[in-house]
Amino acid sequence: MAGDFQVMGVVNVTPDSFSDGGRFLEADAAVAHGVRLAAEGADILDIGGESTRPGAQPVGADEEVRRVVPVIEGLGARLGPAGPRLSIDTSKAAVARAALDAGCSLVNDVTAFRGDAGMAALVAERGAECCLMHMLGDPRTMQQDPRYDDVVADVRAFLEARLAFAVAEGVPEDRVALDPGIGFGKTLEQNLELLRRLDEIAAIGRPVVVGTSRKSFLGRLTGRDVGDRLAGTIATNVLAYARGASIFRVHDVAPVRDALTVAAATVAAPWKTSPTATRS
């Protein structure tokens, strides 16, 4: 892996995602999309069967399992053990269990183990990795006038508390990553403050996941529609990397990986060029 970062490619198996609106709802299309992201250099593929966009309605566990398990199995068959690690984006223990059985090794829970009382025990029992994210309220309500005393201090305290909970439930600390939840119950100004002071979240000592890809605050800043926010996505990821983030959840893997590779070569250890790299 180039640099000290990982790129997590998004595979939405939903009809109502804000970014790709059901393009990959059919299992074959989702598997093909995941294979493309792997070819672009994804280290992790994050498969989700329930949209968490603002205002999204919940999906039952059975339907979520029906959507994601064939995709997970298909990706495992196509990519094999040498392919990217597979992550399940869910807050339901029943879905996570089915996904782990099908080949996932990471659980990405936007509720930070608050949505299902059995999730932490399941992750501990299976020895899975997990990502715990901050969200104010739930997807239906999170953007209704979100308020904080100090958004960075409040998010940090929340993540520290959820990390302590996970460890108390038997999840080894070294298997936990933390996500400040950019866009999840935050205003434009609060999102920017989190990015500006992301080093305070990184100081907790666990890998920090950042998910800014194509989000609405980038559209508000640039005036761009959802399909034309790559430049803003790259800018926020490079800034987040410089402030200590190490896992980047994105829709556009190849260009973000290229940008982070340049950032890593610039701000991290001395860089050795690839033997096949062209010079100009």
Q: How far apart are CA 71 and CA 192, in angstroms?
A: 34
Contacts of 18 (CB under 8 A, 6+ apart): 51, 53, 54, 214, 216, 226
**Whether the Cβ atoms of residue 199 and residue 228 lie closer than 8 Å to each other:** no
Q: How far apart are CA 64 and CA 254, in angstroms?
A: 28
Using the structure block, give the residue that is written with the tokens 């936007």.
110
Phi, psi of 85 (to 5 degrees): -65, 145
The closest of 43, 30, 46 to 211, measured between CA atoms, is: 46
**Whether the Cβ atoms of residue 77 and residue 97 lie closer than 8 Å to each other:** no
Q: How far apart are CA 94 and CA 63, in angstroms?
A: 11
Per DSSP, helices labelled H in the chain are: 27-39, 61-79, 93-102, 119-126, 151-168, 188-196, 198-202, 216-222, 230-242, 253-267
| Coil vs helix vs strand at 212 | coil
Half-sphere exposure of 122 (CA within 13 A, CB side): 23
Indicate the residue type of 241. Answer: Y
- Catalytic residue numbers read 215, 249
- Which tokens belong to 210? 């950042």
Contacts of 82 (CB under 8 A, 6+ apart): none
Residue 30 forms beta bridges with which residues?
A: none
